[in-house]
Amino acid sequence: MKHLLAASDLDRPQTLGILDLAEQMHDIQGREVKKIPALRGRTIVNLFFEDSTRTRTSFEIAGKWMSADTINVSAKGSSVSKGESMKDTLLTLDSMGVDCFVIRHAGSGTVQQAADWVRASIVNAGDGAHEHPTQALLDSYSMRQHWRTLDGGPVNDFEGRTVAITGDLLHSRVVRSNVSLLTTLGAKVLLCAPPTLMPTGAATWPVELVDSFDEALARADIAMMLRVQRERMSSGFFPSEREYIDGWGLTASRLRALKPGVGIMHPGPMNRGLEISSEAADSVGSLVLNQVSAGVAVRMSVLYHLLGGQQDNSTQEGATA
């Protein structure tokens, strides 16, 4: 695997390989000394043209815990702010011998284009409203761990499971990556949103569109709420916050109506009181912090698959030593 640009780049065996190695990487977070030599001598540049807390920090931690030289570069502090093109910035850094770029950019498809410019591997850390593959991977990891805690974990964790995704689907890169990855793993995906926030062409996706949020919740094994992205909205996509909450918010009353064992997810940052109530975000069934914790382990696994060479089982076991 040279790059990770989209969730659709991964087939089922590759996905399960990343998730399985992430389980071993997750154990490192509980160690007193969180350091392994798996990527010693490798150089990773986190190049973020959009603001980020969780994604950039988790990639930085992932690289450093595996002993890679990890460097953060933001657009505001680089020559991009002086007018240099993204291509020239990448070519400049690539010529320094960088092994991997982790890139976030506001332009959909920009990260995929960048893969044609450089010698180094590239991980898409979010491009516009297009893709965010490592978020989908960590979401799937969190779901699998949740189900294994509940019932001991069947051989095929995702078959027969239903994931309901609700919120601002129109502007979301998370929904696109999750739909691709979850269907690859065998889960059924329900999409529910105000008509104005449903992506064009969603009816052709391998999902079921559900008009009623309450119906979607009644069928769900996982309820994933996505943030209302006000910064990407140039006009009113729904009449009022109150109407949005009434129709599509995971309120305290909806929380109480969930069937036992339903996991509640949100990739963050959350608009508490809008798409999700504090009661739901902080409930026993909430996997929000599990997702954050999983983010480091999954990104460690992704970086190792890209930079550690082709792995067999014995090599993967040695990666966490």
Binding residues for L-aspartate: 82, 173, 227
Hey, what are 70's tokens? 């990890």
Residue 315 tokens, joined: 């090599």
Residue 225 in contact with residue 193, Cβ under 8 Å? no
Strand order of the sheet with strand 43-48?
69-74, 43-48, 100-105, 121-127
Mutual angle of helices 288-307 and 54-65, in 10-degree steps: 50
User: Cβ neighbours of residue 50 under 8 Å, at least 6 residues apart?
Assistant: 104, 105, 106, 126
Q: Tokens 């480091």 appear where?
A: 296
Cis? peptide before 239, omega within 30° of 0: no
Distance CA 290, CA 139 (A): 9
Regarding beta strands 100-105 and 69-74, do their DSSP bridges make them parallel or antiparallel, or are they unpaired?
unpaired
Return binding residues for carbamoyl phosphate.
54-55, 104, 132, 135, 268-269
209 bridge partner residues: 191
Minimal CA–CA distance to 98: which of 71, 126, 62? 71
Task: Please state the residue numbers annotated as binding site.
Answer: 54-55, 82, 104, 132, 135, 173, 227, 268-269
